[in-house]
Amino acid sequence: MTNNQEMIKAGNAMVKVLEAWGVDHLYGIPGGSINSTMDALLEEKDRIKYIQVRHEEVGAMAAAADAKLTGKIGVAFGSAGPGGTHLLNGLYDAREDHVPVLALVGQFGTGGMNMDTFQEMNENPIYADVSVYNVTVMTAASLPHIIDEAIRRAYAQNGVAVVQIPVDLPWQEIPAESWYASANSFQKPVYEHVDAADAQKMIDILAEAERPLIYYGIGTRGAGTELASLAEKMKIPMLSTYPAKGILPDRHPHYLGSANRVAHKPANDALPQADVILFIGSNYPFAEVSKAFKNVKKFLQIDINPAMLGKRHHADVALLADAKQALMKLVELAPTKEVSPWWQANLANIQNWHAYLDKLEHQTSGDLQAYQVYNALNAITNDESIFSLDVGDVNMLANRHLLLKPTNRHFTSNLFATMGVGIPGAIAAKLNYPDKQVFSLSGDGGAAMVMQDLVTQVQYGLPIINVVFSNQQFGFIKDEQEDTNAGYIGVEFNDINFAKVADAVGMQGFRVQKISELADVFAKAKEIAKTQPVLIDARISNERPIPVEAMELDSARFDAKTIADFKQRYAADDLQPFAHYLDQFGVENSQAEAQQGGF
């Protein structure tokens, strides 16, 4: 090495690697063991934006949301010990939803490692389960290379990469020419081949089916037109997993909704009676425990991931292919089928269900309910609005009442289902799409977990419309306890006036308690959110949303009093059992029922 060799701090090289991969912002809280990285971020502040959150969990959740929304890697960091462990909730969310996230974790300097010093511990085992790549940096020279490797692994395996960084290493200088980023070489696989013979087998089976269904998941995103074309051509009703909501317009006349509990009645009605299912781009995690496919005679599966083929049910025909390409081939091969009684019964059932939802949403008297809040929300959204949803009843209600088009985006914690993701996700959405309307939708339970980071929205001038549904309970769990427990415990809590919380952090807030107040408040919020964040605290009633997994409507199964009580409780006077439409169109009722499964 010559005396005039150009040098660079290892931390600066590390941050430049992030920049080369297109990372333009990251989240975290500084600490002694991460301060060398903070130094590098300070020097690179014109090229990468540091977002100070008030809890590392929020940073990791926002990083996961970055990846879910954009497909680009999200990045969060925490200092040694508690700063890093606080990241875990968001990292597990990313792991379960298979999105690329990089976590930078501080570590005591190399001179004090393995000496039981302050906040020093063997961090590697902590992150072993959550990650696809998990290493501790040993030398300054290897730091940028390890970050580059971590990002490539996270992308390649759609998972979490964790790098622990002893604090002394980023401050050390390394030769400026000793590192590089491989970002320019990164490519995603392109899947264009569709096996024509297997596609024809699928079409032949679907053409002979008496009660076929198309069951699609998020792997079909961008293929809504092809899904609708196949359904219309072959007269096959469609249902989806909940995360796939919005791939087709929510009130599409051939769309049954999703099944199980966060679900719609028509999907739960049709699924147990189906004889053939085309399962495409989907991972239905309740399939085995709910015995969802126990009555299916033929199961056809299309997936881009070979590990998914046959995972949830024995596949009679399995096709490894991109969903859109496969659907295009199926549409090409498909015959045009005549209207069938099965098709007619399902479409009538869908219409009846939509009328029920509309009735709830447009109620003008009585206590304020979540349904009317969603109606007011739908009135101020547009075709490109983005929705970050928390976890709980807010998922179930948004699934039924938030009206999306394929150009909208909505996301939540799909499989890990961690509460508190609504507000962090909205922060990520607004950072990535500053010109689009962004909402966070949370129950008061989830909002209370992360409400401190409302100030992050204010601090960075992120115009987000935050809606909190307040009813002083963990409603989703309370309803589970109604079904499975001897009584209620731990599911009710004191009220928080989130409008005052908003005011305390410098955000304009409204508390709505009457249906008549909704339109005016939501219109004001829409105007405010053109330039600054705003919060609406909707003080809703605490009744249970209709349990579509346990309907009590069919007179062949329930006595008149049970049906009358059920209809009265859920304002369901005009809601018909599926048996009514099966009988109307001459379809034999197999009397098969959906099972919830799970907890």
To the nearest 10°, report the CA torsion of 386, 349, 271, 561: 110
- Per annotation, catalytic residue among 477, 532, 543, 558: 477
Per the annotation, the verdict on 77 as an active-site residue is: no
Per the annotation, the verdict on 498 as an active-site residue is: no
**Cα 525 from Cα 533, distance rounded (Å):** 9
- Per annotation, catalytic residue among 108, 279, 476, 510: 476
The SS3 of residue 110 is coil
Q: Which residues pair with 26 in a beta bridge?
A: 50
Residue 336 gets which letter from DSSP? Answer: -
Q: Where are the beta strands (DSSP E) in 232-316?
A: 238-240, 255-258, 276-280, 298-303
Residues near 317 by Cβ (< 8 Å), separated by ≥ 6?
198, 201, 202, 205, 298, 300, 301
Per the annotation, the verdict on 118 as an active-site residue is: yes
Backbone angles phi, psi at 571, to 5 degrees: 50, 45
**Cα 79 from Cα 379, distance rounded (Å):** 44
Per the annotation, the verdict on 279 as an active-site residue is: no
Per the annotation, the verdict on 332 as an active-site residue is: no
Backbone angles phi, psi at 280, to 5 degrees: -135, 125
39 token code pair: 């130094």
- Per annotation, catalytic residue among 480, 517, 543, 593: 480
353 token code pair: 């269900």
Q: How many CA atoms lie within 13 A of 277 on its CB side?
A: 28
Nearest to 370 by CA among 451, 481, 476, 501: 476
Per the annotation, the verdict on 510 as an active-site residue is: no
- Per annotation, catalytic residue among 105, 214, 236, 391: 391
CA 247, 252, 254: angle at the middle one, nearest 5? 105
Per the annotation, the verdict on 511 as an active-site residue is: no
Nearest to 395 by CA among 350, 357, 454, 441: 441
Sequence letter at residue 506: G
To the nearest 10°, report the CA torsion of 585, 587, 588, 589: -80
Q: 3-state secondary structure string, 573-589?
A: CCCCCHHHHHHHCCCCC
CB 325 within 8 Å of CB 281? no
The SS3 of residue 256 is strand
- Per annotation, catalytic residue among 17, 23, 56, 214: 56
- Per annotation, catalytic residue among 8, 52, 54, 119: 119
Per the annotation, the verdict on 331 as an active-site residue is: no
Q: Which long-range contacts (CB under 8 A, 24 or more apart) does 154-158 make?
A: 154/73, 154/100, 154/101, 154/102, 155/73, 155/100, 155/186, 155/188, 157/132, 157/133, 158/98, 158/99, 158/100
- Per annotation, catalytic residue among 153, 211, 261, 312: 261
- Per annotation, catalytic residue among 5, 43, 118, 513: 118
**Cα 498 from Cα 390, distance rounded (Å):** 16
* Continuous H helices in 7-123: 10-20, 35-43, 56-70, 82-85, 88-96
Nearest to 257 by CA among 150, 356, 113: 356
Catalytic residues: 56, 118-119, 261, 391, 476-477, 480
